[in-house]
Structure 1
């Protein structure tokens, strides 16, 4: 093999290795998005943590549950606006203390929304919280039975 090709291989190898190192040092920002019934499946709008929904101060507290996920404590709180919302405009919101609303459901219609993240650790906490919502009767959606 000629010296030119050996030099070219060395330069390309160094360029590749330096490119990988730069990519590893660049961290993607943590973003969130909601999916659910009647929400778009494509072109999902990413939001930052400060744009995650929160319950309204007028909403009524229905229940809460504390759970532990890998040595971090969390609280899921269930709220509703059904006592002041229009007849078919009620919602049930499940809010995770460290994030905001992770799941919401209409009290009348078959509509819901669920929070996701591009960060695996945060998504794991959201999934664990959703499992607690499903499995614990004190977080039962009293008006949402379809």
Structure 2
């Protein structure tokens, strides 16, 4: 509220709880010099006064270092799984393929991956260099 003195019956902008928007309101109750309750001129809803000025929210920036640490952990886990598996005999990915845990597959988009888990009736979790993906398959 700027420096203007308000009184009951004056018009003011407020955030309406029914309209979910900032609309014009009529003041119906005051507590001292502060506006207490208002009536929305759009929907006729009565509610407590809510300041129309938007709240400033803190923007949290993720640093490149924290992202790279997470990516490095994912890639390290993937390399451990692929090194213990037979990557030379990777099966090309197909929705109708039968998958078992530990199988190595070659996906056209994600590349080389290792089946981590099978979920009945038709899904598998596959660990790729970019992370774990949920893919369709047939479960043996």
TM-score by length of 1: 0.22
Q: Which has the higher strand share?
A: 2
Structure index of larger Rg: 2
- The higher relative CO (CA closer than 8 Å, separation ≥ 6) is in 1
TM-score by length of 2: 0.22
